[in-house]
Amino acid sequence: MPHFDVVIRGGQVVTDTEIIECDVGIRDGIVAELAPAIEGGDIVLDASGGVVVPGGIDGHCHIAQLSSFGVETADDFTSGSISAACGGTTTIIPFAPQQKGESLREAVEAYRQKADGKSVIDYGFNLIVSDPTSTVLETELPGLVAEGHTAVKIFMTYDAVRLDDRQVLNVLEAARELGVITMVHAENHDLIMWSTERLLKDGDTAPKFHAMAHPPESEREAVYRIIALAEAVGAEIMVLHLSAKEAIEEVRRAQARGVPVLGETCPQYLVLSDADMDRPGFEGAKFVCSPPPRGAANQEFVWRGIVDGVIQAFHSDHAGYRFDDREGKKVRGDDAPFNRIPNGVPGLETRLPILFSEGFHKGRIGLRRFVELSSTNPARIFGLYPKKGTITVGSDADIAIWDPTRRVTLSIDALHDNMDYTPYEGMEIDGWPVTVLSRGRLVWHEGEALGEPGAGRLLRRGEPQTAELRGPAHADDGRTTDNA
Ligand code: URP
Ligand code: ZN
Ligand code: ZN
């Protein structure tokens, strides 16, 4: 009888393409066998009644990152990776951000050191390019891509990091030559600045005015423009954190005419709204992120983008700043004007439970689509497929077993990040991962975080494999109706 380190018995194994009742045999951190009844196993995990899925991949999160507000996000690679693992995620790809005037390679080196020996799950870095000099684009970037850092991120707003259109074109051209995707934060900077100036002049400083300073038109214009620039260059892009119906329309139109543009969204645009920024006192600051959560009616447009395939990836954009903290949301004071509140919300641990509960449980998406959005598509986009993003013989045993019947009331007390609040406090969630394995090691099991800092490896990623996940045609294949 073959030996297995771990056997997962009796679950429903879900990948992006199929749902099968079978056991999973794991040896040396790798899926070694999928079969109806696997004998043995040093550790046997009973998954009966459970859903066995590839561990989530969070390709957009900010960990130990110096933000454009000059403050570092609250989680380091240990708290961030533990929190991600406890929510069903087994790979994180935060950013290594280049500051203007700095070498990109040095930025990556600094983040490599920050992460070294700390993460409990595998990780990589996406490269924020804020100063695209010829040395960066012609020497540093090719070297870093060859070493497995195969995605670039650019900003169209935020003074500290934004690029002008000429610089954007240069980055897109370099990315196209290197065969990597450019992730884009798309908002019109001048429209934000213009709106902000007027709001502040009228004394409209409360957190809720952040939403008005970042109107949907600012997102629509920048999304339209980045698509046009990418189309001109022939480069592939992923528009990040799509929040507004207007921006999603631009992506949908571009995809329909065959432009290689991918869409991403995040939990905050499905379950938060501008009303949250209007909570009493400074409470609204907890929800300030960019783009902002829109009006509640907009949420269904984001769902539509998820269901019809315009949106291919669901990441957290975890950018946690503690609320009651001089190094967090209150860095410019207890009552700072909206434009001086660090932008970002936490979400590493709550990302997948929110998608599972609001998407699968409420019948909006099927389990295969859940897997596709949370794991398989990110694995393809970030050059990790099929080592990660699926459960097949030879893939890493990065696996989460979900109990679809478990009801959890979200509360900061039960989460594992380094935050002092969750924007989702009190929210009822149906379905939670009960066991999570990272390359066959238990990192979360029945309420206990078991990951070992340093066990996570820095991943050497390959080229993106996105050809088959583009476009609306992809959605219409039953993934929304397979609620087995
Ligand atoms: O508000 C957000 N999203 N903060 C994180 C930085 C970014 O925009 O990606
Ligand atoms: Zn962004
Ligand atoms: Zn972000």
- Closest residue by CA, ligand 1 atom 8: 290
Phi, psi of 438 (to 5 degrees): -115, 115
Nearest CA to 59 among 124, 149, 113, 140?
A: 124
User: What is the C-alpha to C-alpha distance for residues 400 and 436, in angstroms, rounded to an integer?
Assistant: 4
- Residue 465: other Cβ atoms inside 10 A: 16
Minimum-distance ligand 1 atom for the alpha carbon of 343: 1
Which residue in the block uniquely carries the two structure tokens 């690029």? Answer: 163
State the pLDDT at residue 472: 46
Phi, psi of 425 (to 5 degrees): -50, 130
- Residue 104 in this model has a pLDDT that exceeds 80: yes
Segment 228-254, tens digit of pLDDT: 999 999 999 999 999 999 999 999 999
Ligand found nearest the CA of 321: 1
- 185: CA distance to ligand 1 center in Å? 8
Spatial CB neighbours of 25, under 8 Å, sequence gap ≥ 6 = 2, 4, 6, 7, 31, 32, 33, 34, 35, 38, 41
- 126: CA distance to ligand 3 center in Å? 11
Q: What angle do CA 85, 89, 91 make, to 5 degrees?
A: 100
- 185: CA distance to ligand 2 center in Å? 4
State the pLDDT at residue 34: 98
String of DSSP letters for 183-196: EEE---HHHHHHHH
Segment 145-176, tens digit of pLDDT: 999 999 999 999 999 999 999 999 999 999 99
State the pLDDT at residue 422: 98
State the pLDDT at residue 329: 98
- Closest residue by CA, ligand 1 atom 4: 344
Minimum-distance ligand 1 atom for the alpha carbon of 288: 1
Mean pLDDT, residues 189-211 taken together: 98
- 461: CA distance to ligand 2 center in Å? 22
- 127: CA distance to ligand 3 center in Å? 12
- Chain-centroid distance, C-alpha 311: 12
Q: What angle do CA 415, 416, 421 make, to 5 degrees?
A: 55
Specify the pairing of strand 51-54 against strand 89-97: unpaired
Mean pLDDT, residues 390-406 taken together: 98
Question: Which of 317, 339, 340, 351 should be mutated for ligand 1, with most atoms under 8 A from CB?
Answer: 317
Band the pLDDT of 479: cuts 50, 70, 90: low
Cβ contact 438:282 at 8 Å: no
Band the pLDDT of 470: cuts 50, 70, 90: low
- β-bridge mates for residue 56, sequence order: 89
- 103: CA distance to ligand 1 center in Å? 22
| Continuous H helices in 26-178 | 77-86, 104-115, 134-135, 141-146, 165-178
- Chain-centroid distance, C-alpha 426: 22
Mean pLDDT, residues 439-446 taken together: 97
User: What is the C-alpha to C-alpha distance for residues 384 and 378, in angstroms, rounded to an integer?
Assistant: 8
- Residue 481 in this model has a pLDDT that exceeds 90: no
User: What is the C-alpha to C-alpha distance for residues 448 and 444, in angstroms, rounded to an integer?
Assistant: 6
Q: Which residues line ligand 1 (CB under 6 A)?
A: 62, 185, 289-290, 317, 319, 343-344
Dmax (CA) for the chain in angstroms is 76
State the pLDDT at residue 317: 98
Global confidence as pTM: 0.97
State the pLDDT at residue 469: 76
User: What is the C-alpha to C-alpha distance for residues 349 and 81, in angstroms, rounded to an integer?
Assistant: 9
State the pLDDT at residue 1: 81
- Residue 473 in this model has a pLDDT that exceeds 80: no
Retrieve residue 356's tokens: 């599972």
Q: What is the mean pLDDT of the chain?
A: 96
- Residue 351 in this model has a pLDDT that exceeds 60: yes
Mean pLDDT, residues 37-58 taken together: 98
Which residue in the block uniquely carries the two structure tokens 């030996």? Answer: 3
C-alpha to C-alpha distances, 456 to 8, 126, 434, nearest whole angstrom = 22, 17, 20
- Residue 471 in this model has a pLDDT that exceeds 80: no
C-alpha to C-alpha distances, 117 to 81, 106, 121, 288, nearest whole angstrom = 12, 19, 11, 32
- 225: CA distance to ligand 1 center in Å? 19
Band the pLDDT of 68: cuts 50, 70, 90: confident
Minimum-distance ligand 1 atom for the alpha carbon of 290: 1
- β-bridge mates for residue 445, sequence order: 435, 448
Residue 14 DSSP SS3: strand
Half-sphere exposure of 468 (CA within 13 A, CB side): 9
- Chain-centroid distance, C-alpha 267: 9
Nearest CA to 453 among 125, 114, 121?
A: 121
- 474: CA distance to ligand 2 center in Å? 26
- 360: CA distance to ligand 2 center in Å? 26
User: What is the C-alpha to C-alpha distance for residues 472 and 441, in angstroms, rounded to an integer?
Assistant: 37
Burial class (CB in 10 A: 0-12, 13-18, 19+), 176: middle
Minimum-distance ligand 1 atom for the alpha carbon of 158: 8
Question: Which of 58, 62, 127, 129 should be mutated for ligand 1, with most atoms under 8 A from CB?
Answer: 62
State the pLDDT at residue 70: 87
- 102: CA distance to ligand 3 center in Å? 20
- Which residues are near ligand 3, the ion (C-beta closer than 5 Å)? 317
- Residue 475 in this model has a pLDDT that exceeds 50: no
C-alpha to C-alpha distances, 126 to 14, 94, 104, 390, nearest whole angstrom = 28, 6, 11, 21
The dihedral sign for the CA sequence 388, 291, 183, 304: positive
Question: Which of 75, 182, 272, 290 should be mutated for ligand 1, with most atoms under 8 A from CB?
Answer: 290
User: What is the C-alpha to C-alpha distance for residues 258 and 337, in angstroms, rounded to an integer?
Assistant: 42
Torsion of CA 130, 134, 138, 143, to 10 degrees: -50
Minimum-distance ligand 1 atom for the alpha carbon of 60: 9
Burial string for 7-33 (b: 16+ CB within 10 Å, else e) reads: bbbbbbbbbbeebeebbbbbbebbbbe
Mean pLDDT, residues 168-193 taken together: 98
Phi, psi of 192 (to 5 degrees): -65, -45
- Closest residue by CA, ligand 1 atom 2: 344
Phi, psi of 261 (to 5 degrees): -125, 130
Ligand found nearest the CA of 158: 1
Nearest CA to 440 among 398, 393, 410, 395?
A: 398
- Residue 483 in this model has a pLDDT that exceeds 50: no
